[in-house]
Structure 1
């Protein structure tokens, strides 16, 4: 299993997931479909499936075009009605497969949008698994609560995604890492892991390189939204429960002028 990042728009990522035996490929959120098709040709890949995380235009906006460019491609998403170009609706726990080794588990991770789906993908046993989290989970951050509640985001982040194996690579929808870590540092100024990862992120971006992927293990050390079960973090933001802390940290982030 090979994963190729395709930078799109100002700070979006689409992703190609390639079965290296059959050369069949999945693409996640191909908002600039011409770029994705060119990347697939470059890697000798045959596009078979689109996985759409959610209905926002900067994720689903390329679906109709990629259906024109790749006749017969299937477009999966959490809603036939809301996700542009969707041919197949998926629900929590649905399973898909591609090629010889690639298995896809659909995880309902609502809050940013009601029908948001994250995709957990496993390949050959030598490959670490990967999860494509759209705008639910970012490196050191999470999406705004546009269509949901803190309770839903807690379930999505701290129950559903946190339960994945710690080496699972996280491929999110945007390059927001530096700003997210700068904010995380204000929440936990004594967290050495945040400081170390921020210095690394500065270096990556200074060299024009992505900060994605992260891992579940790294996020549980550096992402304040995934650390709300920690009593010391709850105390730091003046809250008595994980959900209250998540709500307060989101409020602080929404008003942060970093």
Structure 2
């Protein structure tokens, strides 16, 4: 399959997977107009929509897309039933679309019912993991988000993290405020800054890269614990994760 990204709103990405025949799967269409434009320009044929959670910037375009393509199957968690989902899926479910199998992974934290979809190498994780960061906790707890990160971290190194927002630069700036001398972070910051100066995307990112530059995946790092110890005595990775998320909220 071929991966395509469609910019939406200020910093969203709507992901589209296409096969060689032009059949496509649309992920988290927050608005319909740019998707319909891309469909017309590329002569794509929508087969299904995948939703990760109920927030408007991920589901706002569903009803118009279904109106334009009657019979379109919309997969999503129970929390998206009133947003256009007609096929509710849960942790452990397998979805077969275009001869490909997607695994459904429960990734609560950002919302309570948030899910992700995995078909190697692609992980569509909505607002759970971002490049260099993690989603804001609107409904869930730090413990839930930490466990969601552990599920993602168990996937193969070359998994491509297809998250839904271009937040990489601000995330790395935050990480550098915690680990200002970290060579992986400083090098990645330079790379991301150059890309964004050219208005180029930083996504998708690989899980292998995230393990180096995503501070929320490094909660067991001795260097991180030493620096955190200047402000707190937290030692358990779940506690470190919660502390980092709280710091990011006020950054």
TM over 0.5: yes
Corresponding residue SS for 2:78 = coil
**Matching of residue 119 in structure 1 with residue 117 in structure 2:** yes
Q: Distance in 2 between matches of 1:174 and 1:64?
A: 22
Kindly tell me: are residues 43 and 251 of structure 1, through their superposed partners in 2, closer, same or farther at Cα, counting changes over 3 Å?
same
Q: Secondary structure at the match of 2:146?
A: helix
Offset, 1:228:
0.6
Displacement after TM superposition at 1:88 (Å): 0.8
- 1:119 is paired with a residue whose SS is strand
Instruction: Give the root-mean-square deviation of aligned CA atoms.
Output: 1.3
Whole-Å separation in 2 of the counterparts to 1:97 and 1:196: 40
Structure-to-structure mapping, 1:1-258, within 5 angstroms: 1-20=1-20, 22-79=21-78, 84-100=83-99, 102-122=100-120, 129-157=121-149, 159-238=150-229, 239-256=234-251
Worse-matched range after superposition: 7-16 or 25-34: 25-34
Q: Which residue of 2 aligns with 1:126?
A: none
The farther-off stretch of 44-53 and 4-13 is 44-53
Distance 1:26 1:81 in 2: 17
- State the secondary structure of the residue aligned to 1:201: helix
**Aligned equivalents of 1:151, 1:99: Cα separation in 2:** 36
**CA apart distance, 1:155:** 0.6
| Partner SS state of residue 210, structure 1 | coil
Q: 1:80, CA displacement in angstroms?
A: 5.4
The answer (yes or no) to whether the contact 1:237–1:249 under 8 Å persists in 2 is no
**TM superposition shift of 1:40:** 2.4
Q: TM-score, normalised by structure 2?
A: 0.94
The Cα offsets for residues 48-68 of structure 1, whole Å up to 9 and x where unpaired, read as 111011101111111111111
**Counterpart-to-counterpart distance in 1, 2:160 and 2:93:** 20
Structure 2 unaligned spans of 5+: none
SS of 1:228's partner is: coil
The answer (yes or no) to whether the contact 1:237–1:248 under 8 Å persists in 2 is no
Question: Which whole-Å deviations, capped at 9, do the CAs of 1:58-106 have from their partners, x for residues lacking one?
Answer: 1111111111111111111111565511101110111112224x32111
Comparing 2-11 and 237-246, the one that deviates more: 237-246
**5+ residue gaps, structure 1:** 123-128
Q: Quick check: 1:90–1:106 contact (8 Å CA) kept in 2?
A: yes
